[in-house]
Amino acid sequence: MNWLDFVFIGIISLSVIISLFRGLIREVLSLLIWVGAFWVAYNFVDVGANTLSSWIELPSARHLIAFVALFLAALIVGGMINFIVAKLITKTGLSGSDRFFGMFFGGLRGLLVVILITFFVQATPLSKDPWWQQSKLAPHFTKISEWVRVKMPDEFSNYFSFIENSKSLKAEEVIKDLTPDPQTTDSEQQMPSEKDTPEEN
């Protein structure tokens, strides 16, 4: 095992430990808050951008600022709800089943993070580096990520295929640029040099 394997184990273990102390209810609620914040920002970004049109002229900047502002606002509201729920849980106490299922949820979340890391590495030349090739756990997570990729909607699957094809095309272009043209090489060899050219008397 190399350092990458210990990073994978650390990510999953840390997620499990956090979920053990927080419990399933708070973990699921936190996930719903993040998903809800993204949903709000994604669906109302145009409304927010139109509101900012009087102050910001650049459309891309308006949309970016509107998206971030809506996302943060939704997170703040969700955080207040999470705080209230946390107070209620503290008074009643966490049950053993809530902690157990929280650990299970944390393990799945940690596994998801590792799979996302695997997705990104596989789509880049980093997958050819020794530290990735020598990992004992990376091949197993790669198989899981490939299975997840097959189950994905076509839009996501085609996106990753596009990245890999682009990566392959770029590699082929680099190799082609570095490889001399045989015809050019032969013509250069056939051209007489100045030393071989007979001097005119």
Structure confidence at residue 22 (pLDDT): 84
Structure tokens at 176: 């082609």
Domain ranges in the chain? 3-44+93-179
Structure confidence at residue 190 (pLDDT): 55
Structure confidence at residue 175 (pLDDT): 45
Distance CA 21, CA 100 (A): 10
Give the tens place of pLDDT for each residue, 92-102: 776 778 888 88
SS3 category, 200: coil
pLDDT above 70: residue 26: yes
**Residues 14/16/17/19 CA torsion (nearest 10 deg):** 120
SS3 category, 12: helix
Structure tokens at 166: 């682009």
Question: Where on the phi/psi map is residue 194: left (φ > 0), alpha (ψ -120 to 50), or beta?
Answer: alpha
Residue tagged 């032969």 (tokens): 186
Higher pLDDT, 72 or 57: 72
pLDDT above 70: residue 171: no
DSSP 102-158: HHHHHHHHHHHHHHHHHHHHHTSGGGGSHHHHT-SSHHHHHHHHHHHHHHS-HHHHH
Residue tagged 């509201």 (tokens): 77
Structure confidence at residue 187 (pLDDT): 53
Q: Does the pTM exceed 0.75?
A: no
Q: Of 168, 166, 122, 125, give the one whose Cα is nearest residue 148.
A: 122
